[in-house]
Amino acid sequence: MLRVITIRRTSSGYHSHRSGEQNKDVGGTNEVIVNSGSKKKKKQTDDEEEEEDEPVYIESSPCSRWQKRRETVAQRDIPGIDASYLAMDTEEGVEVVWNEVLFSEKKISDIQHNKISEVFDKLIELNHMNIVKFHGYWQDRTKTDDRPRVVFITEYMSSGSLKQFLRKTKKTKQNLSKNSWRRWCIQLLSALNYLHSCEEPIIHGNLTCDTIFIQNTGLLKIGSIAPDVLHHHVKSNSDSTAKNLHFRAPEIDTELTHITTAVDIYSLGMVTLE
């Protein structure tokens, strides 16, 4: 809508007349047109942009604390996990990762169900500055085909994996200093020592540059502990990728049913060489 302000000439100069009110002197023009409609249009456009920027939540946890979004997390390639999505922690107000593991079987036994719960209960209790935090988990069925699944919530590492960081430094032809390499090794050894010192030692079994994450402060965190455990207790559709086989200790791919914490030390050695 256009609002017209008429300028009339008086003995003291030019004055604008709007709704019977007199304003300050103006000069040089006989008529001023104020387009108030453009402001409304701009405001409407801003509102539409804000609506587009708002995240879309497609699923909530049973406790309604975590809300799953459409955005997938493609910062790692982890055996055992079928899909990872960004989610919002409504209690803490931070972004987290919503991980899903699907069963290929339509029904699981009570023994298997209890074993999974036992494993994740231990993972939630882990508290170390160099280990990605587990916040919660639950077991339910998918809405599409009624398949059993495990959903677990983990800390979101927005800075990416160690492999991504090393790729960036390689492109910029920057050499990693010995001090940085030493600090990283100390952090990783501290995390593994914490896992292996538990009452029942926890074996990661999938330690690679893809499952180690780095923050902008230089802090390293080991993630993806659960998928290896799930391979022993959950029959997932996801297959292990062959690109990281050189990180795995030889005994993992043999017929040996019992492996020790030594497999993580082997993988750590390969990571340090990388």
The pLDDT value given to residue 69? 95
- pLDDT digits 0-9 by tens, 158-187: 888 998 888 888 877 777 788 989 999 999
Tell me the pLDDT of the chain averaged across its residues: 78
Q: Label the pairing between strands 212-214 and 148-155.
A: unpaired
What domains can be seen in the chain, in order of their start residue? 2-53 (no CATH), 57-273 (1.10.510.10)
The pLDDT value given to residue 98? 95
The pLDDT value given to residue 183? 95
- pLDDT digits 0-9 by tens, 18-34: 544 444 444 444 444 44
The Cα angle at residue 107 between residues 76 and 135, in degrees rounded to 5? 40
Torsion of CA 72, 75, 79, 82, to 10 degrees: 0
pLDDT value at 272 more than 60: yes
Task: Copy the structure tokens of residue 54.
Answer: 């708002």
Q: What is the mean pLDDT of residues 207-236?
A: 76
Separation between Cα atoms, residue 112 and residue 94, nearest integer Å: 32
Residue type (1 letter), 101: V
- pLDDT digits 0-9 by tens, 51-72: 556 678 999 999 999 999 999 9
The pLDDT value given to residue 34? 46
